[in-house]
Structures are given as C-alpha cells and as structure tokens.
C-alpha cells in the first residue's frame, strides 16, 4: 500500500515527487500517482519508479495522504467524481491548485473532510519553493504539521491564514516570472553596453543569486545592500536615479497589487 497519493501527475506534482525522493521521505514504492495521460504515466514510472494508475479511485483506496495536483479548471469535475470515496477520518487532502478557496472544496466534499491548501511556486523544480499553507475548517494541527513536513522537501514553508493566500499568490506564486523579466532586462542591458550575451547572462545570474545570499546570510535588508553598493556620484546612484525617474519601484508594487486583485477575482468566481 502506498503512503502518499497524487491525483494529477503534471509538472508541480513531479517536482514534489522528486523532492520527496531526494529527501528520503518516501521510497518510490510508497508513492502512487493517478494520471489520465498514458505517456505521462509511463514517464513518471520510468523516471522515478513510482506507481501510476489511470483511475483516481485507486489513490483514495490505497493512500491516506492525497495531494490534489490537477488544474483549477478541472478540480470541480475531479472532486465530484471522488467525493463519495473520501473518508474524512482516513484521508488528509492537500490541494496545490491556485485560486480555489477552501470553501470551494468544502462545498463539494463530504462534511468533515480534512483539507490543507498550499500555494507553492515553480521554484519547486529545483527544491527552492516557498510554500504557504492554510488549514481548512476540519483539518487538525497535526494535519498542518504533516503538510509542512511534506512541503519542506521542496523548499521553505510558511503558515498563513487563508485570507493572505491571494497576496501570497501575487508575490511568490507569480514572483518567478517577475524575477525572470528583470534578469532578462539586466542581461539585455549588459548587451546594450557591449557585453557578449553569454557573459552578460553569467554576470546577471551570479549577481542575482549573490545579492540574495547577502541578504540571507548577512541578515541585511534590501536598503542596506543598496547602500553598500552606492557610492557618492558613482555609477550605481546614476543608474538608480534612472530607475526611480522611470517609476520602477512603483511599477513593481502596482504589478504585485494587480496580480493580487486578479487572484481575489478568480477566487470569488469559484465561491
């Protein structure tokens, strides 16, 4: 019997599975994945040696901990199909679907169903996710600890009230795209200044990772890091002046806030 099951075998499910295996939380024989696409089942089986099935019911039959890893637009269909097989005493359900509030699940699932909602991000593929966890109405503190242990395999975790998950989605859920856009622009800036693109890419990536590590290891906030680099009448303050004049900080703030509003809008649509 498998110890943990996945309903859905997409990219995020794969990242989590890899994290579990790399951290030794489970052996391949203890992981069961239901996935409708044959080619995907074969890939997961051959790559990670996990068990795969086509039908979701087998996961519910064999596993107590279930990670719901299907896309939000098909979640209602999946929940409707499996709800009669869910035993609130047996099953802990953990959802990683973006934008679906806990009440969406609890309106469909049997009364008393234990649910944890998790918002990871795509950095999970390199075990650098930051996952925010929120507890459903019937989940216990022990359930929350279980979910926290599981998602620690793919990075860091934080516990939040569900009312904060739309903001989490806007910042860390969408955040890798913002960072990628900034890095892309930084590289193009280096090319504009005459650097060969491969060298500009290497410099930009090393600068990003090094800056983050300084904040982490030196426990310095972004303002302090900026002050360390900015000398009077130098190149850095000249560049920063342009960024302030062009409204860069305000643009980033507005972008995150607009993403937050969109996340709330999507959540309310499923209420």
pLDDT 10s digits, 163-179: 999 999 999 999 999 99
pLDDT 10s digits, 94-119: 999 988 999 999 999 999 999 999 99
- Please check the confidence at residue 54 and state whether its pLDDT lies above 80: yes
Cα gap 199→255, rounded to integer Å: 30
pLDDT of residue 271: 62
pLDDT 10s digits, 113-156: 999 999 999 898 889 999 999 999 999 999 999 999 999 999 99
pLDDT of residue 269: 77
- Please check the confidence at residue 1 and state whether its pLDDT lies above 80: no
pLDDT of residue 255: 97
pLDDT of residue 2: 60
C-alpha angle 213/11/124, rounded to 5°?
20
User: Angle, to 10 degrees, between the axis of helix 141-151 and the axis of helix 11-23?
Assistant: 90
User: 143, 121 in Cβ contact below 8 A?
Assistant: no
**Mean pLDDT along residues 190-197:** 97
Q: Whole-prediction pTM value? A: 0.89
Number of residues in the chain: 271
Domains delineated in the chain: 4-161 (3.40.50.720), 175-267 (1.10.3730.10)
Distances (CA, A) of 198 to 95, 108, 203: 40, 51, 9
pLDDT of residue 268: 81
**Mean pLDDT along residues 73-97:** 94
């Amino acid at each position: 019997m498998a110890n943990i099951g996945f309903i859905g075998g997409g990219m995020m499910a794969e990242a989590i599975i890899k994290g579990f295996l790399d951290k030794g939380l489970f052996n391949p024989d203890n992981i069961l994945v239901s996935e409708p696409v044959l080619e995907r089942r074969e890939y997961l089986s051959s790559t990670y040696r996990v068990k795969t099935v086509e039908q979701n019911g087998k996961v519910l039959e064999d596993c107590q901990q279930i990670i719901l890893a299907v896309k939000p637009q098909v979640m209602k269909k999946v929940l409707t199909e499996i709800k009669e097989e869910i035993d609130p005493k047996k099953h802990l359900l953990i959802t990683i679907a973006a934008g679906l509030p806990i009440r969406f699940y609890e309106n469909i699932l049997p009364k008393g169903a234990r649910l944890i909602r998790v918002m990871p991000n795509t950095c999970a593929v390199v075990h650098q996710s930051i996952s925010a966890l929120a507890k459903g109405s019937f989940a216990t503190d022990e359930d929350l600890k279980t979910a926290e242990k599981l998602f620690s395999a793919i990075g860091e975790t934080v516990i939040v009230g569900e009312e904060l998950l739309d903001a989490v989605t806007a910042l860390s859920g969408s955040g890798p795209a913002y960072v990628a856009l900034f890095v892309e622009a930084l590289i193009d800036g280096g090319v504009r200044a005459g650097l060969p693109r491969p060298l500009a890419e290497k410099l930009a990536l090393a600068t990003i990772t090094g800056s983050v590590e300084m904040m982490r290891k030196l426990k310095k906030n972004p303002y302090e890091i900026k002050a360390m680099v900015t000398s009077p009448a130098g190149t850095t303050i000249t560049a920063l002046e342009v960024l302030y004049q062009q409204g860069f900080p305000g643009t980033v703030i507005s972008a995150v806030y607009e993403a937050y509003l969109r996340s709330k809008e999507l959540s309310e649509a499923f209420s």
